[in-house]
Amino acid sequence: MDLDPVLIGIRAVHFAATVLVAGAVFFRLLVFEPALRMSDAAPSLAAAVRAWQARLMGLALAVAVVTGIAWLVRLAVDIRQESAAEVLADGTAWAMLVDTQFGHAWIARLVIAAILAAWIPVVLARAGDAPRWRWASLGLAAGFAGLLAWAGHSGANPGGMGGLQVALDAVHLIAAGAWVGALVPLAALLALARPAAERGGGLLGVAAARRFSWLGVIGVGTLLATGLGNSLFLVGSVEALLDTGYGRLLVLKIALFVAMVAIAAVNRFRMVPRLADADAVQQLQRNSLAEALLGFGVVAVVAVLGIMEPAMHDVMPMDHMDDAMPMDHVH
Write the pLDDT tens digit of every residue in 188-198.
Answer: 998 888 765 54
81: left (phi over 0), alpha (psi -120 to 50) or beta: left
Confidence of residue 324 (pLDDT cuts 50, 70, 90): very low
- Which pLDDT value is given to residue 321? 38
- Which pLDDT value is given to residue 186? 94
Residue (of 89, 66, 2) closest to 308 by Cα position: 2
In terms of pLDDT, which residue wins out, 330 or 306?
A: 306
Q: Say which range, 11-20, 149-158, 286-295, has the weakest mean pLDDT.
A: 149-158
**Burial bucket for residue 317 (CB in 10 Å: 0-12, 13-18, 19+):** exposed
How far is C-alpha 184 from the chain's CA centre? 12
Residue (of 32, 109, 115) closest to 330 by Cα position: 109
* Measured distance CA(145)–CA(192) in Å, rounded: 27
- Which pLDDT value is given to residue 201? 58
In terms of pLDDT, which residue wins out, 306 or 302?
A: 302
Span 60-82, average pLDDT: 92
* Measured distance CA(317)–CA(161) in Å, rounded: 12
In terms of pLDDT, which residue wins out, 58 or 126?
A: 58
- Which pLDDT value is given to residue 67? 96
Q: Which of 38-52, 97-111, 122-136, 149-163 has the highest mean pLDDT?
A: 97-111
Q: What percent of the chain has pLDDT above 70?
A: 82
Q: What amino acid is encoded at 209 in this protein?
A: A
In terms of pLDDT, which residue wins out, 172 or 160?
A: 172
242-251 CB contacts, 8 Å cutoff, 24+ apart: 244/311, 245/308, 246/305, 246/308, 246/309, 246/310, 246/311, 247/311, 249/301, 249/304, 249/305, 249/308, 250/305, 250/311, 250/331
Please determine, for residue 169, whether its predicted confidence score (pLDDT) is greater than 70: yes
* Measured distance CA(255)–CA(291) in Å, rounded: 13
* Measured distance CA(194)–CA(282) in Å, rounded: 8
Query: Are 148 and 173 contacting, i.e. CB atoms less than 8 angstroms apart?
Result: yes
Residue (of 180, 114, 176, 107) closest to 145 by Cα position: 176
Residues 6+ apart with CB under 8 A from 32: 49, 53, 185, 189, 208
- Which pLDDT value is given to residue 37? 84
How far is C-alpha 301 from the chain's CA centre? 13
- Which pLDDT value is given to residue 228? 84
Q: What percent of the chain has pLDDT above 90?
A: 35
- Which pLDDT value is given to residue 125? 63
Please determine, for residue 66, whether its predicted confidence score (pLDDT) is greater than 50: yes
